[in-house]
Amino acid sequence: MTEIRKTEVQGVAKICWAAAGSMLYLMLALPFSGVGASTAAPQEAGSAKQIVAAMLANEDVAAQHRDHYAYLSKERSDRTGGHLWTEKLVETNAGKVRMLLEEDGTPLSPERIAQERGRLAGVVADPAAFQRKEQALKDDEAHARTMLTLLPKAFLFGDVREKGEELLIDFRPNPEYEPQSLEERVLHGMSGTMMIDAKAMRLHHIEGRMPTDMSIGFGLLATIHAGSSFATSRDPTSNSATPEWKTTLIDSAIDGKAVLFKVIARNEHAEHSEFVRVANDLSVAQAVAIAEQ
Protein backbone atom coordinates (compact mmCIF):
# COMPACT_ATOMS: atom_id res chain seq x y z
CA MET A 1 0.00 0.00 0.00
CA THR A 2 1.43 3.39 -1.00
CA GLU A 3 1.91 6.11 1.59
CA ILE A 4 -0.78 8.19 -0.16
CA ARG A 5 -3.28 5.33 0.02
CA LYS A 6 -2.42 4.75 3.70
CA THR A 7 -3.08 8.41 4.37
CA GLU A 8 -6.46 8.17 2.61
CA VAL A 9 -7.47 5.14 4.66
CA GLN A 10 -6.37 6.69 7.93
CA GLY A 11 -8.13 9.94 7.04
CA VAL A 12 -11.44 8.27 6.26
CA ALA A 13 -11.25 6.15 9.41
CA LYS A 14 -10.51 9.24 11.50
CA ILE A 15 -13.44 11.12 9.95
CA CYS A 16 -15.84 8.24 10.54
CA TRP A 17 -14.66 7.83 14.14
CA ALA A 18 -15.09 11.56 14.70
CA ALA A 19 -18.58 11.41 13.25
CA ALA A 20 -19.45 8.49 15.49
CA GLY A 21 -18.13 10.46 18.43
CA SER A 22 -20.30 13.38 17.37
CA MET A 23 -23.33 11.14 17.48
CA LEU A 24 -22.46 10.11 21.02
CA TYR A 25 -22.12 13.72 22.10
CA LEU A 26 -25.21 14.74 20.15
CA MET A 27 -27.65 16.41 22.51
CA LEU A 28 -25.53 15.74 25.60
CA ALA A 29 -24.77 18.57 28.01
CA LEU A 30 -22.88 20.42 25.29
CA PRO A 31 -23.37 24.11 24.53
CA PHE A 32 -25.81 24.74 21.68
CA SER A 33 -25.73 27.81 19.48
CA GLY A 34 -27.37 29.01 16.32
CA VAL A 35 -31.01 28.06 17.00
CA GLY A 36 -32.13 31.25 18.70
CA ALA A 37 -34.79 29.40 20.70
CA SER A 38 -36.34 30.75 23.87
CA THR A 39 -35.98 28.85 27.13
CA ALA A 40 -39.69 29.34 27.73
CA ALA A 41 -42.01 26.34 27.63
CA PRO A 42 -43.27 25.43 24.14
CA GLN A 43 -46.39 27.30 23.03
CA GLU A 44 -47.95 24.15 21.61
CA ALA A 45 -47.79 20.95 23.66
CA GLY A 46 -47.79 18.84 20.47
CA SER A 47 -45.06 20.76 18.65
CA ALA A 48 -42.00 18.51 18.64
CA LYS A 49 -39.88 21.18 16.96
CA GLN A 50 -40.66 23.73 19.67
CA ILE A 51 -40.03 21.24 22.45
CA VAL A 52 -36.66 20.27 20.97
CA ALA A 53 -35.73 23.94 20.52
CA ALA A 54 -36.63 24.69 24.15
CA MET A 55 -34.65 21.68 25.37
CA LEU A 56 -31.58 22.67 23.34
CA ALA A 57 -31.76 26.25 24.62
CA ASN A 58 -31.92 24.99 28.21
CA GLU A 59 -28.93 22.73 27.55
CA ASP A 60 -27.04 25.73 26.24
CA VAL A 61 -27.78 27.80 29.36
CA ALA A 62 -26.81 24.92 31.65
CA ALA A 63 -23.58 24.34 29.76
CA GLN A 64 -22.45 27.87 30.56
CA HIS A 65 -22.60 27.11 34.31
CA ARG A 66 -21.34 23.53 34.50
CA ASP A 67 -19.72 22.44 37.76
CA HIS A 68 -17.04 19.81 38.26
CA TYR A 69 -17.55 16.39 39.81
CA ALA A 70 -15.72 13.26 40.87
CA TYR A 71 -17.47 10.00 40.00
CA LEU A 72 -17.08 6.29 39.30
CA SER A 73 -16.99 4.96 35.76
CA LYS A 74 -17.43 1.36 34.65
CA GLU A 75 -16.34 1.06 31.03
CA ARG A 76 -15.80 -1.74 28.53
CA SER A 77 -14.51 -0.39 25.23
CA ASP A 78 -11.76 -0.40 22.66
CA ARG A 79 -9.80 1.85 25.04
CA THR A 80 -9.93 -0.78 27.77
CA GLY A 81 -8.98 -3.60 25.41
CA GLY A 82 -12.39 -5.19 25.93
CA HIS A 83 -11.91 -5.42 29.71
CA LEU A 84 -14.33 -3.89 32.20
CA TRP A 85 -12.48 -1.04 33.90
CA THR A 86 -13.73 0.61 37.06
CA GLU A 87 -12.15 4.04 37.34
CA LYS A 88 -12.46 7.08 39.54
CA LEU A 89 -12.66 10.25 37.47
CA VAL A 90 -12.14 13.80 38.69
CA GLU A 91 -13.05 16.71 36.44
CA THR A 92 -10.76 19.74 36.17
CA ASN A 93 -10.43 22.68 33.81
CA ALA A 94 -7.44 20.88 32.25
CA GLY A 95 -9.29 17.60 31.70
CA LYS A 96 -10.43 14.45 33.46
CA VAL A 97 -8.01 12.72 35.83
CA ARG A 98 -8.52 8.94 35.89
CA MET A 99 -7.46 6.34 38.46
CA LEU A 100 -7.98 2.68 37.58
CA LEU A 101 -9.41 0.74 40.53
CA GLU A 102 -10.60 -2.61 39.17
CA GLU A 103 -10.37 -4.73 36.04
CA ASP A 104 -13.16 -7.20 35.24
CA GLY A 105 -14.49 -6.81 38.77
CA THR A 106 -11.16 -7.64 40.43
CA PRO A 107 -9.19 -5.02 42.41
CA LEU A 108 -5.79 -4.19 40.98
CA SER A 109 -2.75 -6.04 42.23
CA PRO A 110 -0.19 -4.08 44.28
CA GLU A 111 2.03 -3.98 41.20
CA ARG A 112 -0.63 -2.43 39.00
CA ILE A 113 -1.63 0.02 41.72
CA ALA A 114 1.99 1.13 41.83
CA GLN A 115 1.93 1.55 38.04
CA GLU A 116 -1.22 3.67 38.23
CA ARG A 117 0.25 5.87 40.95
CA GLY A 118 3.41 6.20 38.90
CA ARG A 119 1.39 7.28 35.86
CA LEU A 120 -0.49 9.85 37.94
CA ALA A 121 2.78 11.10 39.40
CA GLY A 122 3.83 11.80 35.82
CA VAL A 123 0.62 13.76 35.30
CA VAL A 124 1.38 15.88 38.37
CA ALA A 125 4.98 16.39 37.22
CA ASP A 126 3.91 17.56 33.74
CA PRO A 127 0.38 18.99 33.88
CA ALA A 128 0.94 20.82 30.59
CA ALA A 129 1.40 17.53 28.74
CA PHE A 130 -1.73 16.18 30.44
CA GLN A 131 -3.69 19.24 29.37
CA ARG A 132 -2.50 18.94 25.76
CA LYS A 133 -3.66 15.33 25.64
CA GLU A 134 -7.01 16.19 27.17
CA GLN A 135 -7.40 19.16 24.84
CA ALA A 136 -7.69 16.76 21.91
CA LEU A 137 -10.81 15.34 23.55
CA LYS A 138 -12.14 18.84 24.20
CA ASP A 139 -11.57 19.63 20.53
CA ASP A 140 -13.72 16.62 19.63
CA GLU A 141 -16.46 17.98 21.90
CA ALA A 142 -16.15 21.41 20.28
CA HIS A 143 -16.69 19.74 16.91
CA ALA A 144 -19.73 17.95 18.32
CA ARG A 145 -21.15 21.28 19.47
CA THR A 146 -20.89 22.49 15.89
CA MET A 147 -22.59 19.34 14.65
CA LEU A 148 -25.37 19.92 17.15
CA THR A 149 -26.49 22.96 15.17
CA LEU A 150 -27.60 20.53 12.47
CA LEU A 151 -30.39 19.10 14.59
CA PRO A 152 -33.22 21.52 13.69
CA LYS A 153 -32.46 21.52 9.96
CA ALA A 154 -31.06 18.05 9.27
CA PHE A 155 -33.80 16.02 10.98
CA LEU A 156 -37.57 15.68 10.96
CA PHE A 157 -39.44 14.94 14.18
CA GLY A 158 -42.38 12.66 14.84
CA ASP A 159 -45.34 13.42 17.09
CA VAL A 160 -44.71 13.96 20.79
CA ARG A 161 -45.64 10.98 22.96
CA GLU A 162 -46.02 11.21 26.73
CA LYS A 163 -44.59 8.52 29.01
CA GLY A 164 -45.00 9.47 32.65
CA GLU A 165 -43.05 12.68 33.12
CA GLU A 166 -41.12 12.18 29.89
CA LEU A 167 -41.75 13.38 26.34
CA LEU A 168 -40.70 10.95 23.61
CA ILE A 169 -39.88 12.28 20.14
CA ASP A 170 -38.70 10.22 17.17
CA PHE A 171 -36.26 11.76 14.71
CA ARG A 172 -35.30 10.80 11.17
CA PRO A 173 -33.19 12.35 8.39
CA ASN A 174 -34.65 15.34 6.58
CA PRO A 175 -34.41 14.32 2.89
CA GLU A 176 -34.28 17.98 1.84
CA TYR A 177 -31.08 18.59 3.79
CA GLU A 178 -27.82 18.31 1.86
CA PRO A 179 -24.92 17.26 4.14
CA GLN A 180 -21.87 19.47 3.70
CA SER A 181 -19.20 17.04 4.95
CA LEU A 182 -18.52 13.38 5.59
CA GLU A 183 -19.22 13.88 9.29
CA GLU A 184 -22.59 15.37 8.45
CA ARG A 185 -23.39 12.43 6.19
CA VAL A 186 -22.86 9.95 9.03
CA LEU A 187 -24.86 12.11 11.41
CA HIS A 188 -27.63 12.55 8.86
CA GLY A 189 -27.91 8.79 8.35
CA MET A 190 -29.20 8.09 11.86
CA SER A 191 -32.81 7.66 12.99
CA GLY A 192 -33.91 7.22 16.58
CA THR A 193 -35.76 8.51 19.62
CA MET A 194 -35.05 11.15 22.25
CA MET A 195 -36.59 11.34 25.71
CA ILE A 196 -36.98 14.79 27.27
CA ASP A 197 -37.80 15.50 30.91
CA ALA A 198 -41.10 17.40 30.65
CA LYS A 199 -40.62 19.37 33.86
CA ALA A 200 -37.00 20.42 33.49
CA MET A 201 -37.04 20.43 29.67
CA ARG A 202 -33.69 18.61 29.68
CA LEU A 203 -32.50 15.71 27.56
CA HIS A 204 -32.84 12.45 29.51
CA HIS A 205 -32.07 9.80 26.90
CA ILE A 206 -31.33 9.52 23.19
CA GLU A 207 -30.71 6.51 20.98
CA GLY A 208 -30.14 6.19 17.26
CA ARG A 209 -29.50 3.51 14.69
CA MET A 210 -28.29 3.35 11.11
CA PRO A 211 -31.23 1.69 9.31
CA THR A 212 -29.29 0.84 6.14
CA ASP A 213 -25.67 0.73 5.03
CA MET A 214 -24.33 4.22 4.45
CA SER A 215 -21.74 4.54 1.69
CA ILE A 216 -19.16 7.31 1.50
CA GLY A 217 -17.78 7.97 -1.96
CA PHE A 218 -20.16 5.39 -3.45
CA GLY A 219 -18.64 2.83 -1.11
CA LEU A 220 -15.15 3.38 -2.48
CA LEU A 221 -13.98 5.34 0.56
CA ALA A 222 -15.99 3.79 3.38
CA THR A 223 -19.21 2.10 4.40
CA ILE A 224 -20.90 2.38 7.81
CA HIS A 225 -22.93 -0.78 8.29
CA ALA A 226 -26.65 -0.96 9.01
CA GLY A 227 -27.33 -1.59 12.68
CA SER A 228 -24.56 0.72 13.89
CA SER A 229 -26.06 2.41 16.90
CA PHE A 230 -25.60 4.66 19.90
CA ALA A 231 -27.47 5.42 23.11
CA THR A 232 -26.80 7.76 25.99
CA SER A 233 -28.64 8.72 29.16
CA ARG A 234 -28.34 11.75 31.40
CA ASP A 235 -29.72 12.17 34.90
CA PRO A 236 -29.85 14.92 37.53
CA THR A 237 -27.24 14.61 40.27
CA SER A 238 -29.60 15.78 43.02
CA ASN A 239 -33.20 16.71 43.82
CA SER A 240 -32.41 20.41 44.15
CA ALA A 241 -34.28 23.08 42.20
CA THR A 242 -31.41 23.40 39.71
CA PRO A 243 -29.62 20.04 39.64
CA GLU A 244 -26.65 19.33 37.40
CA TRP A 245 -27.45 16.81 34.69
CA LYS A 246 -24.63 14.37 34.03
CA THR A 247 -24.09 11.58 31.52
CA THR A 248 -24.79 8.26 33.25
CA LEU A 249 -24.74 5.91 30.23
CA ILE A 250 -22.87 5.75 26.95
CA ASP A 251 -23.47 2.80 24.64
CA SER A 252 -22.13 2.76 21.09
CA ALA A 253 -21.59 0.12 18.44
CA ILE A 254 -20.28 1.66 15.24
CA ASP A 255 -19.26 -0.87 12.59
CA GLY A 256 -17.96 -0.37 9.08
CA LYS A 257 -15.01 -0.56 6.74
CA ALA A 258 -12.88 1.83 4.75
CA VAL A 259 -11.01 1.25 1.51
CA LEU A 260 -9.08 -2.01 1.24
CA PHE A 261 -11.33 -3.50 3.96
CA LYS A 262 -9.82 -1.50 6.80
CA VAL A 263 -12.17 -2.04 9.74
CA ILE A 264 -13.92 0.97 11.25
CA ALA A 265 -15.27 0.19 14.71
CA ARG A 266 -16.13 2.10 17.83
CA ASN A 267 -17.56 0.02 20.63
CA GLU A 268 -18.10 1.37 24.11
CA HIS A 269 -20.36 0.73 27.07
CA ALA A 270 -19.84 3.02 30.06
CA GLU A 271 -21.87 3.68 33.19
CA HIS A 272 -21.18 6.66 35.48
CA SER A 273 -22.38 6.90 39.08
CA GLU A 274 -21.68 8.22 42.60
CA PHE A 275 -21.24 11.85 41.55
CA VAL A 276 -19.66 14.10 44.17
CA ARG A 277 -19.22 17.83 43.68
CA VAL A 278 -15.65 19.15 43.66
CA ALA A 279 -14.22 22.65 43.38
CA ASN A 280 -14.26 24.15 39.90
CA ASP A 281 -10.72 25.49 40.34
CA LEU A 282 -9.06 22.21 41.27
CA SER A 283 -5.46 21.93 40.14
CA VAL A 284 -4.35 18.75 38.40
CA ALA A 285 -2.33 17.81 41.49
CA GLN A 286 -5.38 18.28 43.73
CA ALA A 287 -7.49 16.16 41.37
CA VAL A 288 -4.90 13.40 41.44
CA ALA A 289 -4.97 13.45 45.25
CA ILE A 290 -8.76 13.02 45.19
CA ALA A 291 -8.56 10.23 42.60
CA GLU A 292 -6.05 8.33 44.73
CA GLN A 293 -8.21 8.49 47.88
pLDDT at 8: 44
- What's the pLDDT tens digit per position in 27-80? 443 433 333 333 333 334 458 999 999 998 988 888 888 899 999 999 999 899
Query: For position 265, what pLDDT does the model report?
Result: 59
- pLDDT given at position 151: 78
State mean pLDDT over 266-288.
94
Mean pLDDT check: name the lowest of 18-32, 128-142, 266-280: 18-32
Rounded to the nearest 10 degrees, the angle between the axes of helix 284-291 and helix 127-148 is 90
For position 28, what pLDDT does the model report?
A: 40
**Which pLDDT score is estimated for 166?**
97
Q: Tell me the average pLDDT of the chain.
A: 81
Average pLDDT for 234-258: 84
